[in-house]
Amino acid sequence: MTNAIPIHKTTEATFDVYNPFNGEVIDKVTETDPTELLPVIKKAKCAAESFRFSMPYERRALLNKLADVISENATVLAKTVCKEVGKTIAEATNEIRRAQNTLRLSGDAATFLEGEVLHCGIVSGGVNRQAVITHVPVGVVAAITPFNYPVNLLCHKLGPALAAGNAIIIKPSPKAPLAAQILVDLCKQAGFPDNLVQMVHGGAKTAQALACSPIDLLSFTGGPEAGLALKQASGLVRCLMELGGNDPLIVLPDANLEDAAQTAINQRFEIAGQSCAAVKKLYLHNAIKKDFIDILLSKASEITTGDPEDNSTKMGPVIDELAAVEVKKRLDEAVSLGGEILMGGNHKGTMIEPTIIHKVEINSSLFQNETFGPIISIREFSDIKQLITEVNSSDYGLQAGIYSNNHEQIKSISKSIQVGGVMINEGPDFRAEHVPFGGIKKSGLGREGVRIALKEMSETKVIID
């Protein structure tokens, strides 16, 4: 049984961190006063000035050592993520594994931050001159991370920032700051230079103050409203922002229905549907809709919910009760507009049943907005052009998945839909740590993925001789 959990209870100098499943206070964290940020940034700038002259092999060695230290502390980190986020222990363990991979790939990428040489003889005054183009560190990176992947998404900022030669200041979500703090503490154990990696704590007020401070780059993962506020606060500072998605999975008549259904289940009910690229909208061709739904319901019925620390649990809670109430509100509205719940639909505290609803009205909040909860919303289609028009009408454009073996249709849809990434015979939540990841429209600015993020966190420098 779960209890009502406030999002964030603040005292004068601390805030409580809750277990989303049972409402227990796990720990108290000291909030960083905005007036304390300048000394932190000054320390980071001093560390960055020294670290910018480090060699790529040195940066790779540091990141590999941190990955080793995380491996040694993987159980503690996974249990902490399980408690503060509500992920199942299997999901939390997988996140810690991916975080190590992210750091190792970042270290590898540091050795391939290539530049180029251009001959200047293309203009008359440039005879016998050449331009050497390199990438140099920006300086101090401020990283603001969300609750849903508190370790791996932190590493997606920390790894490239350090691989590029920068210092980094991290502000984790106040809903899940504990595993992030452990990771930062492990940096010291891994032999990182003093003040190269620092952490501050707090909510929106701290985030705004950090964005306004004399940093050199802001990397933020969160919602579009918060992202816009931080971008406006940061002025001319370069911003990298991953702002979520409302991601479709499209299933065509020739698809492998078993595989597509399993993907929809895996990528929507993982961490109770709280992933930015999760399957939020399921588009089924009307020729296979009935058969597909039968398979989907059968597979979804096998999902066990409950205590995320229990190894038999397949899906845990959402992050807090306010989040659960918002999800239920959107579901109720969709039903009032004609949607039919095929499975689930109830919630108690922070636990929401795995839910499948079809005949969802396109203008419903459930369908129009990114919904962080375990609900699969189904619409059917027959005309590909109308499908593309509907998908492209979304304010978001993160990723999409297509299940089909028809090469021509795959190619046509992939070129036409307006998203940052298209996954073929895979769901939109698929991600490889070294591949560019990000979206268009309200889904964000710039790209993550360690290779491209390395350049995003660098300045281009030209020397003509």
Give me the helix-helix angle, 89-110 and 74-85, nearest 10°: 120
Closest by CA to 369, choosing from 347, 396, 392, 393, is: 396
276 catalytic? Reply is yes
Cα-to-chain-centroid distance, residue 244:
7
Closest by CA to 175, choosing from 319, 308, 275, is: 319
The answer to whether 39 touches 79, Cβ cutoff 8 Å, is no
Burial class (CB in 10 A: 0-12, 13-18, 19+), 109: buried
Say whether 189 sits in a helix, a strand or coil: helix
Phi, psi of 255 (to 5 degrees): -70, 160
Active site residue: 82, 155, 239, 276, which one? 276
User: Containing H/E element for 250?
Assistant: strand 247-251
The DSSP string of 144-183 is E--SSSTTHHHHHHHHHHHHTT-EEEEE--TTS-HHHHHH
Closest by CA to 196, choosing from 162, 163, 157, is: 162
Beta bridge partners of 341: 357
Contacts 24+ apart (CB under 8 A), 303-307: 303/265, 303/269, 303/354, 305/351, 305/353, 305/354, 306/351, 307/21, 307/22
Closest by CA to 336, choosing from 379, 356, 366, 376, is: 366
Active site residue: 242, 309, 361, 380, which one? 242
Catalytic center residues: 242, 276
